[in-house]
Structure 1
């Protein structure tokens, strides 16, 4: 097992090096589609792993990743979903923009700055960061604390969730914490209004996305009637087991969003009782012992389900979300890497090691006749590799998990330090 762990880490590190370019990290060394570009979301997650390695060259590439994204920022503050620096082709998203690219950018800039003490970087990037901050405030629309995310507006860009998506709100919370930390460093004192906004957002998340059996709705409920309708519908299958994935004017989403649930724990929105419920749900309902990796969403949407009709037309070029594939029940090393970080942080070392081993096994799968394919996802039933190979953030998952088990934190910025 020790050899597999060491081999898995070294192979992941080598792929991170392969993703290095003069302009930052590309999402994949594969030339398929637009993966060989600098991405806001992928680039940040790979950079978070790079920072943990302590490797000067990789950390320097993280810096260039953020500088490139800032250089191609849109006129209103939009951070590119991806950019090809050779052809100068910029995408801010497909049919809608990618909200989480902007959120990850702020988080990544803050983590790089804090890890390196590079104040000159912060000074250079601050105008771009402030433009993103203003844009995110505008995306609240009603100025009530939560960002409204359109269909296809984040990493689950061909999946059925929209509105006040929990995953994006959690990133918004971490972005606010990061902004507060930066602001305090620049001005020499805390911005009380920003700290209040951050605290209020955490209360909103705790109040609106976890259903329990309390007699009255929480004080910070966003819309009381919508909340009560959502809680009544959730009570039979998921209330009290995991966080809700989103709500919108049309109601709540009830599928298990693995990335959001992990982030809720990792970013200290969840309390210990909620963490225990989530862990139990994952073990009892979600993972397979054969290859314990987290799916993007659970349960799978199948042709017999009422959501299937909508899902099967939700694609840009070709339909990827067949049952147990891609976001529809596909298993993701990247998401699992953050769960390893969360478990390790909670001193659940044996569980963390189990999931890290699964990441290494997934990354080692053969693709196009070559071992160590680092697939984008793994089929949720056949355990075969899927998506694009040589995926940088699948390598990042192995690195994040490895360093988490050594006591390092993927997010250094938290409420205690703002």
Structure 2
């Protein structure tokens, strides 16, 4: 590369970094409808709908921007979801308000939509002090709370998640999925904060439930040689799982366990959230960071994949993965959840790095989020792709994805000292 080419490349990178936040805000405004945030303004399948998980994430992101119309769209999102709540308390996976078409999930319900709803309501209330909104939402929140308790099934503190039951809806994990337990922990923290504010007293049983869930997560999803934790969920299963955990022991948090055993692939979003939500201690944070640098990002890539390593046709899990789809198969190697690189996940990673004082790392990753969001789709720049192909590094998935824009906003605001989660472990 010549000196001129190097100068032009640096200028282009600087321009993308400077424009990335503005372009992301512009897309969030396009996602804001009269009924709340659309997953995408793109007319594709059901993306132009109000979504439970996407809408809550965009709504919390809006709170970081201090832009009144975006914050209002976040409030309206939650009100729309509550208006279409199911008879048992189910929060919709997505809603088409024009036709009143409601989906609570595909082959299985989406547990995480319910968790994000409680979290979203609490974050909006904490940020705005809007007690009237909270009073309006309490009946819906209480119905979700009851439903989540029923989804523990054996009343032992962890939610049981069916296959396709959360955002990784065409991936092969199920049972006691770490990602959903972390959201459950945050939802319970939110309920504690709400109870304290409304009743001017503590709900001691709820606080004990939060404390136990944190201990369960720490004990059951991190393997250490020759130690059986006090809060192990099933001792025999844990021993078998630890014995088979040749790569992840003391390196990262395992993604799930079920009556059939443990899963061992690296779940990026769960491993970021376990730090961001202050479940991990500093030693485990550092071990995860080392694993990401040495194993997950071996080619120097600065975006995180949904899961790693990639499942390939010669792998034992390929047959099950290849059967897990609703309409068309999306999880070819390095695509979608199977090794696709996600700006949304990377935005949370930037937030965690910024919060831990690792500004240089955070800025490098934020630059890569902007570069990914700026990729051309359908002949236009700034396509905000849903994900990036893990080996070709090309734009993939749905165009103008709202939470890809949110990833850029979350990262930018985190570097300015703003928090995505205002309700934290102090609220336990």
Normalising by structure 1, what TM-score? 0.98
CA distance in 2, matches of 1:216, 1:406: 40
Would the aligned equivalents of 1:291 and 1:383 in 2 still touch at CA under 8 Å? Answer: no
Task: Give the corresponding residue for 2:244.
Answer: 233
Deviates more, 1:131-140 or 1:408-417: 408-417
CA distance in 2, matches of 1:341, 1:307: 32
- Note if 1:412 corresponds to 2:412: no
**Correspondence list, 1:255-266, <5 A:** 255-266=265-276
CA distance in 2, matches of 1:280, 1:323: 24
Task: Give the corresponding residue for 1:40.
Answer: 52
Task: Give the corresponding residue for 2:31.
Answer: 19
CA distance in 2, matches of 1:325, 1:246: 21
CA distance in 2, matches of 1:224, 1:131: 33
CA distance in 1, matches of 2:270, 2:237: 21
User: What is the total number of aligned residue pairs between the two structures?
Assistant: 416
- Note if 1:347 corresponds to 2:357: yes
Normalising by structure 2, what TM-score? 0.96
**Correspondence list, 1:1-400, <5 A:** 1-213=13-225, 215-234=226-245, 236-287=246-297, 291-400=301-410
Task: Give the corresponding residue for 2:3.
Answer: none
Which runs of 5 or more residues in structure 1 are unaligned? none
Deviation of 1:288 after TM superposition, in Å, equals 5.2
User: Any idea what the Cα deviations from partners look like across 1:86-117, whole Å, max 9, x if unmatched?
Assistant: 00000000000000000001001100000000
CA distance in 2, matches of 1:280, 1:133: 37
> Aligned to 1:252, what secondary structure does the other structure show?
strand
CA distance in 2, matches of 1:129, 1:6: 39
Which runs of 5 or more residues in structure 2 are unaligned? 1-12
Deviation of 1:289 after TM superposition, in Å, equals 5.0
Deviation of 1:259 after TM superposition, in Å, equals 0.4
User: Any idea what the Cα deviations from partners look like across 1:18-61, whole Å, max 9, x if unmatched?
Assistant: 00100000000111110000000000111111110000000000
Deviation of 1:5 after TM superposition, in Å, equals 2.0
User: Any idea what the Cα deviations from partners look like across 1:111-134, whole Å, max 9, x if unmatched?
Assistant: 000000000000000000000000
CA distance in 2, matches of 1:26, 1:230: 40
Report the RMSD for the aligned CA atoms in angstroms.
Answer: 0.8
